[in-house]
Structure 1
Amino acid sequence: METAVIAVIGTLLGSVVTHFFQRRTTERAAELSRAEQLRQERISAYSAFAGALVDYRRGQNDRWHRAQQTPGSPAAEEARIDSYRLRSSAHQALIRVQLVCDDAQALELAAAAFEVTNCMHEAPDEDDRSQRSEQARETLSEFIGAAAPSVR
């Protein structure tokens, strides 16, 4: 009789321990899966933002050059409208970065890169436009450097 009771208790104890370890393993696997999903989402958001900002910078340079060459021309107007479309895409990408990034410095740099790019067309002369363009490129590079550790 005692042997049977000990066997039942041992079986129950084994079941409880097995359940505990299986639950921990399942929770850990779910946690790792969420972390990998967030990592992939960050890679996608950061890449999309960088690409959109590069396109926006190109559009701002084009807008500035067209406005300087032939102010008020259809080509200048087309470049201005294109820059609005590119700004919208870059802003959408920035919002996506803001949703997935938890690094305050990277968020600041992303917003700064967008803002510097946004103001490029206001340059009064070629030297200032060139400087603003370079500053936009550098700020984007700084964002990428700050954001990269979160996806490695």
Structure 2
Amino acid sequence: MDVALIAVAGTLLGVVATHWFQARATERTASLARTEQLRQERIATYSAYASAVVDYRHSQNDRWFRAAQQPGSEEAEESRHASYRQRTAARQALFRVQLVCDDPHIRRLAEAAFKETHCMHEAVGETERAHRSEQGKEALALFISAAAPGVR
């Protein structure tokens, strides 16, 4: 009878230990999957944001040139409206960055890249426009440099 109790106790102990180890392995696997999914989401989000800001900067340059060459023309108005659409796309991408990024420094850099790009059309003269365009490009590069290590 003692041998049977020892066998039952050993079996129960084995079942409990196996369950505990399997539960820990499952938790670890789920945690790794969540981490990888977040990393992939950040890569997609940061890439989409960078693309949207580049497109916005391009449309801001186009807007400035068309307004400087032919103020009030139909092309200048179309370019202005196109820059509004690009601004909306860039702002939406910025919101997504703010949702998936938990680093306040990276979020501030993303906001700075948007802000630098947003002010380009207000430049007075070609030199200032070129300077603002370069500032926007540099601000975006700073964002990318800061965000990249977190997705590697």
One-letter code aligned to 2:110:
A
Aligned pairs, number: 152
Query: 2:59, 2:121 → 1: CA distance?
Result: 9
Look up the SS of the partner of 1:108 in the other structure.
helix
> Match for residue 44 of structure 1?
44
Structure 2 segments unaligned to the other structure (5+ residues): none
Deviations 1:41-80 (A, max 9, x none): 0001000000000000000000000000000000000000
> Match for residue 69 of structure 2?
69
- Tell me how far 1:150 sits from its aligned partner: 1.1
TM-score by length of 1: 0.99
Query: 1:141, 1:105 → 2: CA distance?
Result: 14
Query: 1:29, 1:96 → 2: CA distance?
Result: 27
- Tell me how far 1:105 sits from its aligned partner: 1.1
> Match for residue 131 of structure 1?
131
Query: 1:82, 1:40 → 2: CA distance?
Result: 30
Please tell me whether residue 54 in structure 1 is matched to residue 18 in structure 2: no
> Match for residue 80 of structure 2?
80
- Tell me how far 1:114 sits from its aligned partner: 0.1
- Tell me how far 1:112 sits from its aligned partner: 0.4
> Match for residue 2 of structure 1?
2
Look up the SS of the partner of 1:102 in the other structure.
coil
TM-score by length of 2: 0.99
Residues 20-39 of structure 1 mapped to structure 2, 5 A cutoff: 20-39=20-39
Look up the SS of the partner of 2:21 in the other structure.
helix
Query: 1:115, 1:76 → 2: CA distance?
Result: 22
> Match for residue 111 of structure 1?
111
> Match for residue 102 of structure 1?
102
Deviations 1:5-57 (A, max 9, x none): 11000000000000000000001111111101100100010000000000000
- Tell me how far 1:130 sits from its aligned partner: 0.3
Structure 1 segments unaligned to the other structure (5+ residues): none
Query: 1:43, 1:69 → 2: CA distance?
Result: 39
Deviates more, 1:101-110 or 1:79-88: 101-110
Runs of 4+ in structure 1 over 4 Å off? none
- Tell me how far 1:145 sits from its aligned partner: 0.6
Query: 2:80, 2:11 → 1: CA distance?
Result: 76
